[in-house]
Amino acid sequence: MTDNYEVFISFKNRDGSGNQTRDSEIAKDLFDEFSRAGIPAFFSNVKLLELGSAAYKASIEKAIDQARVMVVIGTCAEYLETEWVTYERESFHNDILSGLKKNACIVPYLGAFESTRIPRSLRGYETFSTESHAAADVVKFVANFMKSSQKAAEAERPKSVITGMAASTYKADAGHEFRRLKIQSDYTKPADMPAIKYVLSKLCKPSVKILDAGCAYGFVTKDRFADIENSFTVGLDFNEKCLDYARKHNSADNIVYEYCNFEAEDFEDTVENIMQKHGVESFDIIFSSLVIHHLKNPNKFLKRVRRYLAKDGFIILRGSDDGSIVSVNDDGLIQKIVDLHISTEGVSDRHNGRKIYAQLLSSGYKNVKMMNYVKEISGMDIDERNDIFEERFAYRRNYLKSLCDKNPYDMDRKNNLEYMDFALECLENKFSEDAFWYCEIDFVGVAQKK
């Protein structure tokens, strides 16, 4: 299933007292029936109204552009005349009359009230009764209509007039993530280098062995370690696609990349085989950036890698923490985005940065030193501001998109993804405004093996 909708369900969500209407219950039953029938249906995301009527309007206009059928629910005449139901119905009806929508129809699903109170735009269509017809009856009618007009509709369906909101595939997300990680490498260098220089000054060794645990595409690995004299670096990651790119584009005479799953049972065997392969007895520096917050058991990982650290060696951990964010003039968008992100299934620990100090101490390290870096956007030009937005926020939709891909008929997940997309679009615009200010902390912990 794609993100395109075949059916638009129009209904009044809440009454004047703020209570859920019977129409909304019928709409939910109808949505579930369409989902079971494999027909993509738009069930309005009322949560978008938190971001303003413009966001909600853009959402419904996008869905109206795509749909071939609109089911209009009205258990009473008053609900049919409310602002949004009227706007949706008349927009769809006008598209049919103008010829913009061909092979399309409206299906009224109405309660028992006087026919004279039915809006004129609904009177020419076959009507179903909410009292005597089940949701399955409506879905069956719609399915038959779509089947009979499918070929013509596919050839003539107009494209959405809204740009930038088309569905993106998982591969496209991965490509976007590739770019984001490159940006992240550039903008986190000021956080890494003081710690790396501090550790090198303390080691005072003629040659240095370095482990980069979680090297991804190798952007950070090559940039931070390739120019260290008499050094040898092993980059580890479990993503073969990342490793293939790193080997082709971010290798150096003193850098190699190897596969390793940090939470696998055979972790020790894998690491020891790699060390033997490259003639490494122990590592003087273990570096890991933005990795441990993804792991199920960060302390277990820290204890595991500790055994491969030289007696006088150092570990450097960099993490992030959404709780460190401070902003001005964001209209509350950042907190809304963070709250939705944190509540999404499968999200990493977004408050890990503050835990690094304690995690190192409890995992067998000593002389823990926090060398945190404050990142803020004053003085940045618009391109740099956009980079910070992409690094810190654009990726957050990926978790929601992945969940929607797994279950495209889950209404809550689809609504949350749509909400996140609109919120991110609004926040991206904020980052371009001179009056907007943003600040956060990159948490950097340095410690020695106890």
- Residue 357 main-chain phi, psi, to 5 deg: -55, -50
- Nearest partner of 42 among 1, 90, 6, judged by Cα: 6
Cα(269)–Cα(247) distance, integer angstroms: 22
pLDDT of residue 354: 95
10 Å Cβ neighbour count for 252?
Answer: 14
Indicate the pLDDT class of residue 108, thresholds 50, 70 and 90.
Answer: very high
Q: For the chain, which domains are there?
A: 7-156 (3.40.50.2300), 170-449 (3.40.50.150)
> What's the whole-number mean pLDDT along residues 306-327?
96
List, for residues 13-48, the tens digit of each pLDDT value. Answer: 988 888 999 999 999 999 999 999 999 999 887 777
Terminal CA-CA length for the chain: 54
Residue 265: other Cβ atoms inside 10 A:
8
The percent of the chain in helix, strand and coil, each rounded to the nearest 5, is 50, 20, 30
List CB contacts of 13: < 8 A, sequence separation 6 or more: 20, 21, 23, 24, 44, 46
Q: Which of 42-46, 218-222, 270-274 comes out lowest in average pLDDT?
A: 42-46
Q: What is the pLDDT confidence band of residue 169, given thresholds at 50, 70 and 90?
A: very low
Q: Which of 284, 352, 293 is nearest to 314 (CA)?
A: 284
Maximum Cα–Cα distance for the chain, whole Å?
A: 92
Name the residue with tokens 């007009």.
149
Does residue 152 have a pLDDT over 70? no
Q: What are phi and psi of 71, to 5 degrees?
A: -100, 120
Kindly report the average pLDDT of the chain as a whole number.
89
Strand, helix or coil at 43?
strand
Q: Is 70 helix (H, G, I), strand (E, B) or coil?
A: strand
C-alpha distances (whole Å) from 297 to each of 213, 267, 291, 447 are 15, 14, 11, 19
The pLDDT value recorded for residue 160 is: 26
Q: For residue 318, which of 143, 146, 192, 184 has the smallest C-alpha distance?
A: 192
pTM of the model: 0.74
In angstroms, the CA 158 to CA 296 distance is 47
| Residue 279: predicted pLDDT | 97
